[in-house]
Amino acid sequence: MTETDIAPPRRKRAPSKRSLETRARILDAAERLFAQGGFDGASMRDIAVAADVPVALVNFHGGAKEALFDTVVARRAETLARHWLDALESAKADHGPLDLRAVLDCFIRPYLNLAATGGAQWTAYARLIAHVSADERWRPISERCFDPTVAVFVAELIPKFPKAETRRIAGAFVFSISAMLSLATSRWRIEAMAGDSGEATSGLDEWADFLIDFCEGGFRAALAG
């Protein structure tokens, strides 16, 4: 952690193809299990079984358990941050200065698209973020992986509400983030609540406009004047 990277060995030659596949299988399995039960909800042994490798390989590729957890969270966070910032930049390039709705769209739609098309791993990742956010032990991870990108979006929103206190704007944005995550993790519950029995009857992308409407309306109502 004090060093340049978290990767397992000091790379001397390129890692073999098989090694890379093994490493990916381990990280994917860890992500899935950590998403279900949090850091302590999955043992190194569980992860080894899920990845179909012996336990020692989990330590070899992932390092100690805490380092493995950190790697798993950080890996996808980087991808996500890139999608968010790219969406912002290309929207600006295409349409000039962005209005409130466009900024919210740049935050909400990239993740929902990943979750709708990229399948289960991106949905699991929302649960993982929920675990990280719920547990005080992982504050450093949140601060390092998510806060910088969130700060960019908040900075983007500040000039749109010149009369509002900054913390109100940040508050409304945090409300929007949590609504987005709850949609990803609890769509099944929402639809069950409405009596839509059993399986999810709609894709995440069907909900995108609805969620953006909600957040935009919330911002305008709470920060009006």
Partner DNA sequence: GTCTATATGTAGATAGAC
Partner DNA sequence: GTCTATCTACATATAGAC
Q: What is the DSSP letter of 14?
A: P
175 binds DNA (CB under 7 A): no
Question: Per rule CB under 8 A, is residue 21 in the interface with a second copy?
Answer: no
- Residue (48 or 112) nearer to DNA, CB: 48
Is the separation of the CB atoms in 55 and 48 below 8 Å?
A: yes
**Residue 71 near DNA by CB under 7 A:** no
Structure tokens at 150: 């969130």
Residue given tokens 């980087």 in the structure block: 78
From 3-11, 104-112, 115-123, 176-184, span contacting a second copy (CB under 8 A): 176-184
Separation of alpha carbons 48 and 51, rounded Å: 5
Could you tell me the end-to-end alpha-carbon distance of the chain, in angstroms, rounded to an integer?
Answer: 47
Q: Which of DNA, a second copy, none is residue 54 near (CB under 5 to 8 Å by kind)? A: DNA
Size of the site for DNA (CB under 7 A): 23
Question: Residue 37, interface with DNA (CB under 7 A)?
Answer: no
DSSP structural state of residue 13: S
Outline where the chain has alpha helix (H): 17-41, 44-51, 55-62, 65-95, 100-117, 120-134, 139-145, 147-157, 166-193, 204-223
State the residues that interact with DNA by CB under 7 A: 9, 13, 15-16, 18-19, 22, 42-46, 53-57, 59-61, 64-66
State the residues that interact with a second copy by CB under 8 A: 36-41, 127, 130-131, 133-137, 142, 147, 150-151, 154, 165-172, 174-175, 177-179, 181-183, 185-186, 189-191, 193-196, 201-202, 207, 210-211, 213-222
